[in-house]
């Protein structure tokens, strides 16, 4: 009696715990989908097409090519 293991869970215990878990997950997913502004804020989320090339850091089409500071034509590991 003193050293006996605790009794195992019954069928009703497993059903109730599964039901409670399902209800909590439903509540969480529902509120994340329909009330996500509580987590992410209420500011305006712009579409990606609304950004200009300048805001994204893309140079204009007529800009000269940038100078590349690479090591062209040298074997790997010999230019340190």
Q: State CA 36 to chain mean position distance.
A: 14
Residue scoring higher pLDDT (27 or 66): 27
Q: What pTM was estimated for this model as a whole?
A: 0.46
Residue 48 Cα distances to 45, 51, 52, angstroms: 9, 6, 9
SS3 assignment, position 71: coil
Class of residue 49 by CB neighbours under 10 A (exposed 0-12, middle 13-18, buried 19+)? exposed
pLDDT score for 68: 66
pLDDT score for 41: 80
pLDDT score for 1: 61
């Amino acid at each position: 009696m003193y050293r006996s293991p605790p009794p195992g869970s019954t069928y009703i215990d497993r059903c109730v715990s599964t039901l409670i878990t399902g209800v909590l997950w439903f509540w969480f997913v529902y509120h994340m989908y329909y009330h996500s502004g509580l987590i992410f804020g209420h500011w305006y989320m712009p579409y990606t097409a609304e950004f200009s090339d300048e805001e994204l850091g893309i140079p204009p089409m007529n800009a000269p090519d940038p100078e590349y500071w690479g090591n062209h034509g040298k074997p790997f590991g010999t230019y340190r």
